[in-house]
Amino acid sequence: LSLLHQRKAQLERENEVLAAAAAQRTDLEVQLKDALAANASLEVQLSEILATNARLEAECSKHDEEAARRKQWEMQQAEIARSFGELQGVVSLLVRRLAVINSQHQRLADEKGAAEAAAAALRVELYKWQALRTSKVGSWTVSSAPIGGTGHNLAVSRSSATAGRSSSSSRAR
C-alpha cells in the first residue's frame, strides 16, 4: 500500500507537471499564433517598405539624372556667357574700328570735295587763262588727255600754228 501511495503521489506530480506543461503549451500555442500573425504583418510591412524603397531609389536615380543634366546646362550656359563676352569684345573692337573708318571716309570725302572744288576752280582759271592767251597769243586747245598721272582729264596745248612761240606746250595747276 505504501508503494501504491508513493506511485499515486508520483503520478499526481507527473500529472501536475503534465497539466502545467499542457497549460504552458496552450500559452505557447497562443504565443506561436500571435507570433505567426505578427510575422505575417511584418512580412506585409516589409514588402511595402521594399516597394517604397524601390520607388525612392527610382526617384533618386531620376533626380541624379536631372542634376547631371542641370550641371551640363550650367556648363553650357557658362560657355555661352564666356563666348558672348568674347563676342561683345570683338563687336566693341569692330565698332571702334568702324568709327575710325567712318572718320577716315569722311576726311577723305572732305578732301575729295576740296580737291574737286580746287580742280573746278583751276578749270575756271584755265578757261580764263586760255581765253586770255587765245586773244593774245593765238589759238590754244583743250584736250581730254590725263595730266601727269593725276587722273584729271584736262590739258591745254597750243595749236601747231603757235607751237614755236613759247617754251612750254602744256600747263596744269
Q: Which of 43-47, 48-52, 148-152, 156-160 has the lowest mean pLDDT?
A: 156-160
pLDDT at 67 over 80: yes
The Cα 130–Cα 137 span in angstroms is: 10
- Residue 162's pLDDT band, with cuts at 50, 70 and 90, is very low
Q: Which residue has the higher pLDDT, 14 or 81?
A: 81
How much is the average pLDDT of 69-96?
Answer: 96
Of 139, 138, 172, 132, nearest to 155 by C-alpha is: 172
What pLDDT sits at residue 137?
57
Is residue 119 within 8 A of residue 135, CB to CB? The reply is: no
For 20-65, the pLDDT digits (tens) are 887 777 787 888 898 989 999 999 999 999 999 999 999 999 999 9
The rounded percent of the chain whose pLDDT value lies above 70 is 79
Whether 137 and 145 have beta carbons less than 8 Å apart is answered as no
Rounded-to-integer distance, Cα 15 and Cα 20, Å:
8
Q: What pLDDT score was predicted for residue 117?
A: 95
**Per-residue model confidence (pLDDT) at position 149:** 47
Task: Report whether pLDDT(167) > 90.
Answer: no
Answer whether residue 5 shows pLDDT above 70.
Answer: yes
DSSP structure class, residue 169: S
Model's pTM, two decimal places? 0.40
Question: What does the pLDDT look like over 91-120, one tens digit per residue?
Answer: 999 999 999 999 999 999 999 999 999 999
Element (DSSP H or E) covering residue 63: helix 2-136
Higher pLDDT, 160 or 20: 20
What is the Cα–Cα distance from 170 to 147, expressed in whole angstroms?
9
Rounded CA separation 73/7 (Å): 94
